[in-house]
Amino acid sequence: MREPDPTHRSPSSEVARMFDRISRTYDLLNHLLSLSSDRRWRRLAVRRLLLAPGHMVLDCGAGTGDMALTAHRHTEGISTVLLDPAHAMLSLADSKAGIIEPARFRLVRGYAERLPFADAVFDRFMVAFGIRNFSDLRAGLCDLCRVLKTGGRGVILEFTPDRAPFIDAIFTSYMRRIMAPLGAAISGDRDAYRYLSRTVQNFATSGDLVHLLEEVGFRHVESHRLSLGVATLFVVEKR
């Protein structure tokens, strides 16, 4: 695993430590609390990447690697680089790689706001439920644009607060009454699931995110509501 630049202490180091603490129960809770919708959302996002053999793909905020693994299952012959500041999350990703050659499944510890890669090296990028954790959203999106090749494509999955009103009422109550207490009980970390609930409620709307993605240099920015707006899929290109 490539280690992070020791001079870079991002404000999200704290967040990375939190993900390290909950890493053991992360996958279980992800599937349980989303009623397995996360698997469908990931497959949909990966399909929209239009992958081809030989593509070099960045999975930013890769966590335990489910997006990268979905991409490998979808298209043979791609190479993925999984970037995340949380060591324990990446170790779990490593343990799930199975028969994928290590050279095609590289793990790098680092932060989106300062990606340790040269300009225009990736054909594709993906970020699933990661941008909410960036300490500087604009800087993270700018750097994703920088490392993407011209003609490249990216997908971002995230919870956004602009859900249909009746879905918002159900979702908010589900988060407060089921997700936060169950997450706290199973992971043993009350703060982590309070953080999840708080950041999901207070994050940017999909409209604001589309503007920001255009401002940092992406073109053909599309947003698609998933599961009646519980999550949003953004598809971007760099021209």
Ligand X SMILES: C[S@@+](CC[C@H](N)C(=O)[O-])C[C@H]1O[C@@H](n2cnc3c(N)ncnc32)[C@H](O)[C@@H]1O
- Greatest pairwise CA separation for the chain in angstroms: 47
Query: Among residues 13, 11, 25, 12, which one has the least CA distance to residue 193?
Result: 25
Report, in Å, the least distance between residue 232 CB and ligand X. Answer: 14
Smallest separation, CB 179 to ligand X (Å): 13
**Contact pattern for ligand X over residues 45 through 84, marking x by CB under 6 A:** ---------------xxxx--xx----------------x
Contacts for 174 with CB less than 8 Å, ≥ 6 apart: none
Q: Give me the phi and psi of 67, to 5 degrees please.
A: -70, -45
Closest CB to ligand X: residue number: 63
Of the pair 111, 218, the CB lying nearest ligand X is at 111
Q: What is the DSSP letter of 205?
A: P
- What are the contacts of 35-39 at 24+ separation with CB within 8 A? 37/226, 37/227, 37/230, 37/231, 38/66, 39/66
Footprint on residues 90-129 left by ligand X (CB under 6 A): 111-113, 128-129
- Please report how close the Cβ of residue 174 comes to ligand X at its closest, in angstroms: 17
Of 62, 66, 57, 77, nearest in space to 19 by CA: 62
Q: Which residue, 15 or 210, has its beta carbon nearer to ligand X? A: 15
Among 4, 12, 33, 100, binds ligand X (CB under 6 A): 12
For 1-21, b/e burial (b = at least 16 CB within 10 A) is eeebeeeeebebeebbebbbb
Asked whether the beta carbons of 196 and 174 are under 8 A apart, the reply is no
Question: Judged by CB under 6 A, does residue 89 bind ligand X?
Answer: yes
Please choose, out of 7-15, 72-80, 143-151, 197-205, the segment that lies near ligand X by the rule CB under 6 A: 7-15
Strand pairing category for 105-108 and 219-226: unpaired
CB of 201 to ligand X, least distance (A): 15
Question: How many alpha carbons fall within 13 Å on the CB side of residue 222?
Answer: 13
Q: Closest distance between ligand X and the C-beta of residue 142, in Å?
A: 13
The site that binds ligand X (CB under 6 A) totals a number of residues, namely: 25
When the beta carbons of 12 and 75 are compared against ligand X, the nearer one is 12
Nearer of residues 38 and 123 to ligand X, judged by Cβ: 38
Q: Does 10 bind ligand X (CB under 6 A)?
A: yes
Binding to ligand X by residue 135, rule CB under 6 A? Answer: yes
The pair of three-digit structure tokens given for residue 215, joined into one six-digit string: 């401002």
Binding site for ligand X (CB under 6 A): 10, 12, 15-16, 19, 30, 60-63, 66-67, 84-86, 89, 111-113, 128-130, 133-135
